[in-house]
Chain A
Amino acid sequence: GAVVSQHPSWVICKSGTSVKIECRSLDFQATTMFWYRQFPKQSLMLMATSNEGSKATYEQGVEKDKFLINHASLTLSTLTVTSAHPEDSSFYICSAREPSPGGYEQYFGPGTRLTVT
């Protein structure tokens, strides 16, 4: 299957600072990438849909000024958590949809563990 990478795999930052997470599709071009957040023992919650060359579409309740998404190329999307606070500590996962006729499979990155102190 398609391979999606994320960097960094884990990061610890101080409250008030910003953190950037990268998501790359390694062997295919992804016009659409997705950013999820997962709290312990809970489901994956879609935060936003990242579209190459256009603005991201945010889910209800997700602050677009706090979670900045940039999809500058067909293989890279970035999520920047601005002015991070301890409540932003979570597991962030990206996914990319490999274009295939009739297929909706999304391939996920390994995730990034963010801890805000």
Chain B
Amino acid sequence: DQQVKQNSPSLSVQEGRISILNCDYTNSMFDYFLWYKKYPAEGPTFLISISSIKDKNEDGRFTVFLNKSAKHLSLHIVPSQPGDSAVYFCAASGTETSGSRLTFGEGTQLTVNP
């Protein structure tokens, strides 16, 4: 039962353009969402998060949008840079009582071409 899904295994964009990574979830108990970036043979790096009480959170070039009714979130990277090339995972968490377990999507490999 894949509760968090990233349907696009890969995405390729040109440097300077916008990268949009999508994520869907099925569990309505999820109320906190996170995006992580991962290089090969390294641990994931936290990028940005959003609480279910918001629909948008922005941090520099990274913006996360949340559509609760559609159970969908997206990560926008503008402008994209070659150094952004990595695997991006979205993750979701339930309430505090769940122990803050994160459920991860399958990841999307982003390639930013110079």
B-binding residues in A (CB < 8 A): 1, 4, 6, 32, 34, 42-44, 46, 49, 57, 91, 93, 95, 97, 102-111, 113
List B64-114 residues whose CB lies under 8 Å from chain A: 89, 93, 99-107
- CB B61 to nearest CB in A, in angstroms, measures 17
CA distance A4 to B99 in the complex (A): 19
CA distance A113 to B43 in the complex (A): 11
B32 at the interface (CB under 8 A from A): yes
Cross-interface CB contact of B99 among A32, A44, A107, cutoff 8 Å: A32
Asked if B89 and A107 sit within 8 Å, CB to CB, the answer is: no
Asked if B101 and A1 sit within 8 Å, CB to CB, the answer is: no
The verdict on A91 contacting B89 (CB below 8 Å), with A46-B101, A46-B102, A104-B49 known, is no
A-B contact count, CB below 8 Å? 56
Cross-interface CB contact of A108 among B43, B101, B103, cutoff 8 Å: B43
Cross-interface CB contact of B42 among A1, A42, A103, A110, cutoff 8 Å: A110
CA distance A81 to B99 in the complex (A): 24
Main secondary structure of the interface of B (DSSP, over half): strand
Asked if B44 and A104 sit within 8 Å, CB to CB, the answer is: no
CA distance A43 to B6 in the complex (A): 10
Asked if A104 and B89 sit within 8 Å, CB to CB, the answer is: no
Main secondary structure of the interface of A (DSSP, over half): strand
Cross-interface CB contact of A93 among B44, B106, B107, cutoff 8 Å: B44
- CB A10 to nearest CB in B, in angstroms, measures 8
CA distance A113 to B104 in the complex (A): 20
The verdict on A111 contacting B46 (CB below 8 Å), with A42-B106, A46-B102, A105-B34 known, is no
The verdict on A1 contacting B46 (CB below 8 Å), with A43-B107, A44-B89 known, is yes
- Residue contacts A-B, CB under 8 angstroms, 6 given: A49-B99, A91-B41, A104-B93, A104-B100, A108-B46, A111-B41
B51 at the interface (CB under 8 A from A): yes
Give B36's nearest chain A residue, CB to CB: A108
Asked if A4 and B43 sit within 8 Å, CB to CB, the answer is: yes
One digit per residue, 1 when the CB lies within 8 angstroms of any chain A CB and 0 when it does not, for chain B 24-54 equals 0000000010101000011111100101000
